[in-house]
Structure 1
Amino acid sequence: MSAAPALVIVSGLSGSGKSVALKTFEDLGYYCVDNLPAELLPEFVRRLLAGDNPPDRIAVGIDARSLGDLAEVPDVLSQVGAQGLDPRLLFFDTRDEVLLRRYADTRRRHPLSHLGLVLPDAISLERQALRPVRQIADTVLDTSDLNVHQMRRRVLTEFGLSGVGLSLLFESFAYKRGVPPEADFVFDARVLPNPHWDARLRPLSGRDAEVREHLDGDADVVAYVAQVEGFLDTWLPKLRSETRSYATVAFGCTGGRHRSVYLAERFARHFREGGWPEVAVHHRELD
Structure 2
Amino acid sequence: MRLIIVSGRSGSGKSTALDVLEDNGFYCIDNLPASLLPDLAERALLQTELLHPQVAVSVDARNLPSQLQRFPELLAEVRGRHIQCDVLFLDADEETLLKRFSETRRRHPLTNENRSLAEAIRDEAALLAPIVDLCDLKIDTTHLNLYQLRDSLKLRLLNQPAPGTAFLVESFGFKRGMPVDADLVFDVRCLPNPYWKPDLRDMSGLEAPVANYLAAQPDVEEMYQDILGYLNKWLPRFAASNRSYVTIAIGCTGGHHRSVYLANRLGQALKPVLKNVQVRHRDLG
Q: 2:133 aligns with which of 112, 132, 135?
A: 135
The count of residues paired between Structure 1 and Structure 2 equals 174
- 2:83 is matched with 85
Q: Which of these residues, 59, 64, 74, is aligned with residue 61 of structure 2?
A: 64
Corresponding residue of 1:187? none
Instruction: After TM superposition, list the pairs within 5 Å mapping 1:123-162 onto structure 2.
Output: 123-162=121-160
CA RMSD of the aligned region, Å? 2.9
Q: State the partner residue of 1:112.
A: 110
- The secondary structure found in structure 2 opposite 1:58 is strand
Q: 1:16 aligns with which of 9, 12, 18?
A: 12
Q: 1:164 offset after TM fit, Å? A: 4.4
Structure 1 residue 25 corresponds to structure 2 residue 24: no
How does 1:38-57 map onto structure 2 within 5 Å? Answer: 38-54=34-50, 56-57=53-54
What is residue 30 of structure 2 aligned with on the other side?
34
Report the Cα distance in structure 2 between the residues aligned to 1:12 and 1:247, rounded to whole angstroms: 24
TM superposition shift of 1:79 = 0.7
Residue 163 of structure 1 deviates from its aligned partner by: 2.8
Structure 2 distance, partners of 1:86, 1:164, is 14
Q: In the aligned structure 2, how far is the partner of 1:156 from the partner of 1:49?
A: 24
Q: What is the CA-CA distance between 1:14 and the residue it aligns to?
A: 0.3
Structure 1 residues 101 and 136: CA distance shift in structure 2, 3 A: same
Offset at residue 120 of structure 1 (A): 0.4
Q: What is the deviation of 1:156?
A: 0.7
2:191 matched residue in structure 1: none
TM-score between both structures, scaled by the size of structure 1: 0.55
Contact 2:45 2:53 in 1 (8 A): no
Question: Partner residue of 1:95?
Answer: 93
Q: Structure 1 vs Structure 2: percent identity of aligned residues?
A: 38
Q: What amino acid sits opposite 2:15 in the alignment?
A: S
TM superposition score normalised by structure 2:
0.55
AA paired with 1:79? E
Task: String of CA shifts for 1:205-225, please: whole Å, max 9, x gaps.
Answer: xxxxxxxxxxxxxxxxxxxxx
Contact 1:163 1:245 in 2 (8 A): no
Aligned-residue offset at 1:8 = 0.9
- Aligned to 1:74, which of 72, 75, 78? 72
**CA deviation profile, 1:237-282 (whole Å, cap 9, x unmatched):** xxxxx8686799xxxxxxxxxxxxxxxxxxxxxxxxxxxxxxxxxx
How many Å separate the matches in 2 of 1:104 and 1:81?
39
Q: Which residue identity lines up with residue 152 of structure 1 in the other structure? A: R
Mapped to 2, the partners of 1:20 and 1:37 lie a distance apart of 20
The Cα shift of 1:86 comes to: 2.8
Pairwise CA distance, 1:82? 1.7
